[in-house]
């Protein structure tokens, strides 16, 4: 993927650039808001990573200007302001996701990949398929190998989110935000318990596990053969 | 600045001066009005008397001509305390009357006029005095003058003048004394307030402004300032407490972090050793970030900044949703989690913060409780109570107020995970909504209630 990092802190920008390259992405860096806006308008990027507080032009104004000029490139806003209300203003300005500093790189990477996928057409598919696991969004039904798997509504939404991002790492925070719509830290890892419940329903009794734990990052659903 | 200048600038002086001025103006106006009015009255009485006299004389003249008039005038003029009379010829020779030395010009025209005259008494002419007279021209060039002395008016004026003078003296004295008393009373209290605030500014944060107990404006002012001071003192104490605790609770993990890194560097045990050390470091920093986030959240809630995020929502939904989130965790910990929430229970508040506070309470209950945890949402008066009850060891009554403070963890739970901020966040969220959090005995266990204001205008079904 081609990414643009708009970040004024040299160390943070260099670290991001290097880490992203190691993950197989190409990252350009802009050091202030004006430069970031110019680059974003000039070039095609898959995802923009924009710091909220920037010299010359702040991050939110970069995003809203971009949107005003009809660009729909997905934007991840980074900010030291991590409260709910800050998040809301960030998303209102046209950001697609919001990540509070300090963040872990795996969280950032997972979110960038989810954002890039968001524009892919299959997000609107009515059925998701991973291996022999099938989820029908309209009928609200899940089958594996033709066998019906009854799920609670929340479990269904959890699986739906995981399957929409099949093959991608999904972090616990992403699940909490997107499946439960909570934006706070629940102290204990309640998400793990929900995921292991789901896992016992879709993987138990089948030889090939589909729902995997990615150490230090989160979860991923994928066909083991890939 | 001169002493006089200083005196003039004091509020006491200004109040006294204003007092005096107001008194003087009112008194002056009163006296003037009184004097005018009585004078007018006297003059109109004089006029009436003269006119009555004129009517009588006129009748006599019509009956008996000038002779009869002269006779009547002579007779009437001789009576004691009589009016003034004068009948003259065209040349001004007096035919009858009791006045002399009347200026001839006074008789030149008909009508009302004021004259200065002398009145012969016992053959001698006496002192000069003034009178109000009316002059008539009669046939044959005779002139008739009838009048009345101003003596009464003068006497009245004197009667009034003496008390008026005293009244002025009294007014000045009363004005000064009154002004001084008011000024002393009012300004004395202001001075006392100034002195108290000076002491408070100098650092005596426990100091308060004096309250006289009379419930007047000054008491109200002092009371509201004292309330403000109390709030400030509370905030300052909180701040100090926080900084003390930040020093402890953030520095301890920071020290551990540093120690781990140093140790790994010192005793390099190959890649596996570095890896383990780095993982431990990451975990420690995660913990630090959590603590920091919780602190920021509390600070925001307490500063009331989150007030913008207030929306209308159903508290029963929040209770059910949090229960749903924690139910698997409770089950895994060998407990049951029940929820009792009959909606709708519409409240106005910060949904996210309330959810987080409730989640913290449930998290605490699962960590410290045993057997069963119950979440309930119900209406009580104009409030909605979100309650979390557990069957754990509970909190002794004497510690209940203390655990709501930041970072306070009872010794019994020091070894368990947690930042010690869960309850204080819930308390801060309650304060943001203008309510409070209550800890009670669940016999056995702990029952924590977070109150929220029912949505204004919501009518019970």
| Percent of chain B residues past pLDDT 90, beyond the cut | 0
What is the share, in percent, of chain A residues with pLDDT greater than 90?
2
Q: Specify the fold of A2-118.
A: Rossmann fold (3.40.50)
Task: Specify the residue for token string 């003029």.
Answer: B77
Is there a cis peptide before residue A170, judged by omega within 30 degrees of 0?
A: no
Q: Does B36 score more than 70 pLDDT? A: yes
CA distance A111 to B204: 53
| A224: its two tokens | 């083991």
At CA B272, angle to CA B267 and CA B273, rounded to 5? Answer: 25
User: CA neighbours within 13 Å on the CB side: how many for A135?
Assistant: 20
Cβ contact (<8 Å) for A83 and B360?
A: no
**B206 phi and psi, to 5 degrees?**
-80, -10
Q: Which residue of A has its CA nearest to B283?
A: A216
Q: Is B290 in Cβ contact with A187 (below 8 Å)?
A: yes
Residue B16 has a CB neighbour count (10 Å cut-off) of 20
| Average pLDDT, integer, range B278-299 | 79
Nearest-Cα distance to chain A for B459, in Å, is: 29
Closest partner CB to B300 (pick from A83, A180, A183) = A83
Q: Report CA A88 to chain centroid distance, whole Å.
A: 17
Q: What is the pLDDT of residue B417?
A: 46
Which residues in chain A belong to E strands, given as ranges? 2-6, 26-30, 47-51, 75-79, 97-100, 127-130, 133-136, 141-144, 147-148, 170-171, 211-214, 218-221
Q: Which residue of B has its CA nearest to A198?
A: B328
B390, containing H or E segment: strand B383-390
Average pLDDT, rounded, for chain A: 84
- Give the CA distances from residue B388 to residues B334, B418, B429, in Å, rounded to whole numbers and listed in that order: 17, 18, 15
Find the range with the poorest average confidence among A80-84, B135-139, B407-411. Answer: B407-411
Task: Tell if the CB–CB gap between A184 and B300 is shorter than 8 Å.
Answer: no
Domain boundaries, chain A: 2-118, 124-221
Scan for tokens 């005003």, then name that residue. Answer: A68
Q: Is the pLDDT of residue B277 over 70?
A: yes
CATH fold of A124-221 reads Arc Repressor Mutant, subunit A (1.10.10)
Average pLDDT rounded to a whole number, residues A14-29: 88
Check pLDDT > 70 for residue B368.
yes
Report which of residues B223 and B286 the model is more confident about.
B223
Listed in order, strand segments (DSSP E) in B122-254 are 124-137, 143-149
Structural domains of chain B, with CATH: 12-156 (3.30.450), 205-303 (1.10.287), 305-453 (3.30.565.10)
Q: pLDDT band for position A184 (50/70/90)? A: confident
User: What single DSSP character describes residue B455?
Assistant: P
Q: Which residues of B touch A182 (CB under 8 A)?
A: 325, 352, 355-356, 359
Query: Tokens at residue A162, please?
Result: 């995981």
Residue with tokens 């551990």: B256
> Nearest CA to CA, how far is A191 from chain B (Å)?
8
Residue of A nearest to B421 (CA): A187
**CA pair distance A84, B258, nearest whole angstrom:** 31
Percent pLDDT > 70 in chain B is 89
pLDDT confidence tier of residue B306, bands split at 50, 70 and 90: low
**Who has greater pLDDT, B309 or B222?**
B222
Instruction: Say if residue B352's pLDDT is above 60.
Output: yes
**Which pLDDT band holds residue B438 (cuts at 50, 70, 90)?**
confident
CA–CA gap between residue B301 and residue B307 (Å, rounded): 8
pLDDT bucket at B416, cuts 50 / 70 / 90:
very low
For residue B410, the model assigns a pLDDT of: 46
- With cut-offs at 50, 70 and 90, classify the pLDDT of residue B412: very low
Q: Of A208, A198, A204, A214, which is closest to residue A130 (Cα–Cα)?
A: A208
pLDDT at position B120, please? Answer: 66
Q: Coil, helix or strand for B102? A: coil
Instruction: For residue A173, give the nearest of A86, A114, A94 by alpha carbon.
Output: A114
DSSP structure class, residue B311? E
For residue B337, the Cα-to-chain-centroid distance in whole angstroms is 54
The per-residue pLDDT for B459 is 62
Name which residue leads in pLDDT, B346 or B150.
B346
What pLDDT does A226 receive?
42
**A34: closest CA of chain B, how far (Å):** 30
The pLDDT tens digits for B205-255 are 788 888 887 778 888 888 898 888 888 887 777 677 667 767 776 777 788
Helices and strands, counts by H and E, chain B: 9, 12
Q: Residue A105, class by beta-carbon neighbours within 10 Å (0-12 exposed, 13-18 middle, 19+ buried)?
A: middle
CB contact under 8 A, A83 and B363: no
Question: What per-residue confidence (pLDDT) applies to A186?
Answer: 73
Note whether A84 contacts B360, CB cutoff 8 Å: no
Question: What pLDDT, on a 0 to 100 scale, did the predictor assign at position B112?
Answer: 84
How high is the mean pLDDT of chain B?
Answer: 79
pTM over 0.90: no
Q: For residues B25 and B404, which has the higher predicted lDDT (pLDDT)?
A: B25
What integer pLDDT is reported at residue B4 of this predicted model? 67
| Burial (CB count <10 Å: 0-12, 13-18, 19+), residue B329 | buried
Residue pair A211/A162 in contact (Cβ under 8 Å)? The answer is: yes
The pLDDT-based confidence of B177 (bands split at 50, 70, 90) is confident
Rounded Cα–Cα distance for residues B385 and B377 (Å): 6
Model pLDDT, residue B461 = 46
């Amino acid at each position: 993927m081609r990414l643009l990092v708009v970040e004024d802190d040299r160390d943070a920008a260099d670290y991001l650039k290097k880490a992203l390259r190691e993950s197989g992405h190409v990252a350009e860096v802009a050091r202030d808001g004006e430069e970031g806006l110019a680059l974003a308008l000039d070039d095609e990027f898959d995802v923009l990573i924009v710091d909220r507080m920037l010299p010359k032009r702040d991050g939110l104004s970069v995003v809203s200007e971009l949107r005003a000029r009809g660009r729909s490139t997905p934007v991840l806003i980074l900010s030291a302001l991590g409260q709910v209300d800050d998040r809301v203003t960030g998303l209102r300005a046209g950001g697609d996701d919001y990540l509070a500093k300090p963040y872990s790189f795996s969280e950032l990477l997972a979110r960038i990949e989810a954002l890039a996928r968001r524009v892919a057409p299959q997000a609107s598919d009515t059925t998701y398929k991973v291996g022999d696991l099938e989820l029908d969004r309209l009928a609200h039904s899940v089958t594996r190998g033709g066998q019906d798997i009854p799920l609670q509504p929340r479990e269904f939404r959890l699986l739906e989110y995981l399957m929409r991002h099949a093959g991608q790492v999904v972090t616990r925070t992403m699940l909490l935000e997107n499946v439960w719509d909570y934006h706070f830290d629940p102290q204990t890892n309640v998400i793990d318990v929900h995921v292991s419940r789901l896992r016992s329903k879709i993987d138990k009794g089948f030889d090939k596990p589909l729902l995997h734990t990615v150490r230090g990052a989160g979860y991923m659903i994928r066909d083991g053969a890939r | 600045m001169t002493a006089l200048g200083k005196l003039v600038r004091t509020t006491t002086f200004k109040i006294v001066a204003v007092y005096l001025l107001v008194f003087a103006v009112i008194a002056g106006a009163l006296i003037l009005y009184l004097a005018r009015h009585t004078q007018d009255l006297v003059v109109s009485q004089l006029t009436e008397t003269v006119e009555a006299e004129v009517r009588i004389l006129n009748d006599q003249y019509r009956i008996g001509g000038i002779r009869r008039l002269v006779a009547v005038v002579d007779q009437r003029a001789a009576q004691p305390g009589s009016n003034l009379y004068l009948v003259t010829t065209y040349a001004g020779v007096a035919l009858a009357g009791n006045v002399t030395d009347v200026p001839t010009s006074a008789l030149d025209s008909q009508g009302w006029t004021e004259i200065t005259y002398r009145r012969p008494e016992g053959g001698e002419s006496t002192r000069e005095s003034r009178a109000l007279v009316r002059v008539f021209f009669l046939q044959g060039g005779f002139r008739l003058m009838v009048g009345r002395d101003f003596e009464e008016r003068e006497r009245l004026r004197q009667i009034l003048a003496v008390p008026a003078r005293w009244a002025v003296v009294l007014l000045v004295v009363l004005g000064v004394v009154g002004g001084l008393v008011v000024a002393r009373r009012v300004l004395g209290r202001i001075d006392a307030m100034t002195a108290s605030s000076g002491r408070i500014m100098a650092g005596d944060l426990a100091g308060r402004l004096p309250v006289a107990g009379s419930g007047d404006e000054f008491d109200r002012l002092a009371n509201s300032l004292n309330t403000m001071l109390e709030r400030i003192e509370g905030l300052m104490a909180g701040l100090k407490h926080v900084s003390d605790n930040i020093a402890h609770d953030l520095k301890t993990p920071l020290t551990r972090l540093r120690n781990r890194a140093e140790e790994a560097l010192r005793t390099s045990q190959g890649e596996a050793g570095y890896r383990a050390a780095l993982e431990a470091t990451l975990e420690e920093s995660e913990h630090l970030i959590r603590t920091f986030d919780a602190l920021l959240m509390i600070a925001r809630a307490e500063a009331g900044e989150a007030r913008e995020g207030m929306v209308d929502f159903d508290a029963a939904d929040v209770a059910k949703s949090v229960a749903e989130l924690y139910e698997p965790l409770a089950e895994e910990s060998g407990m049951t989690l029940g929820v009792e929430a009959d909606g709708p229970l519409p409240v106005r508040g910060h949904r996210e913060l309330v959810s987080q506070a409730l989640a913290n309470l449930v998290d605490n209950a699962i960590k410290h409780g045993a057997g069963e945890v119950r979440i309930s949402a119900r209406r009580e008066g104009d409030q909605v109570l979100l309650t979390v009850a557990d069957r754990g060891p509970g909190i002794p009554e004497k510690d209940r107020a203390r655990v709501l403070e930041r970072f306070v963890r009872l010794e019994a739970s020091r070894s368990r995970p947690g930042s010690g901020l869960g309850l204080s966040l819930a308390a801060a969220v309650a304060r943001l909504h203008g309510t409070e959090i209550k800890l009670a005995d669940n016999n056995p266990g702990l029952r924590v209630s977070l109150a929220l204001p029912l949505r204004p205008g919501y009518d019970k079904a």
